[in-house]
Amino acid sequence: MIIGDIPLAELAEKVFSEKYKYVNNPQKLKGQSGKFWDFNAVVDNGKYGKYGIFIRDWKREISITQLRQLHKACIDIPEIEGGIMVCNIATDFARDYSTQFGIQLLSRGHLVSKLRNREFQF
């Protein structure tokens, strides 16, 4: 299988699980507002806290609405320190928006590049 054909969720797991505790499909987390939030994964960075991950394996660019939802979830859940959005296509506008709200936006190309820099060791 070509590295670019690997599903986005699997790429994210390979990139994050090497250094951090990666929890795939965690339970719904209840926020202070009473709303339950669904993260696709959670990364536990030990002393720096937990980070919620939204993975959107869409054939189109990521929407600002999805970035807003991730931002709201991170604010609503006290044990989540920040958010990471993983998507196929990231526009400059989405990158600017995510930077303003402290959300890390990672595209498929970025994940593939990380794995290639590690010399594709899996």
Q: How far apart are CA 9 and CA 78, in angstroms?
A: 25
Residue-wise pLDDT for 76-94, tens only, equals 999 999 999 999 999 999 9
Which residues are within 8 A (CB) of 83 and not within 5 positions of it... i.e. 6 or more apart? 51, 52, 53, 54, 70, 71, 73, 74, 102, 103, 104
Cα–Cα distances (Å) from 53 to 15, 21, 30, 121, in that order, read 13, 13, 15, 23
What is the bridge-based pairing of β-strands 41-44 and 21-24? antiparallel
Residue-wise pLDDT for 61-77, tens only, equals 999 999 999 999 999 99
Residue-wise pLDDT for 28-48, tens only, equals 899 999 999 999 999 998 888
Instruction: Give me the domains of the chain, ranges plus CATH numbers.
Output: 3-117 (3.40.1350.10)
Mean pLDDT of 108-119: 87
pLDDT classification of 1: cutoffs 50, 70, 90: low
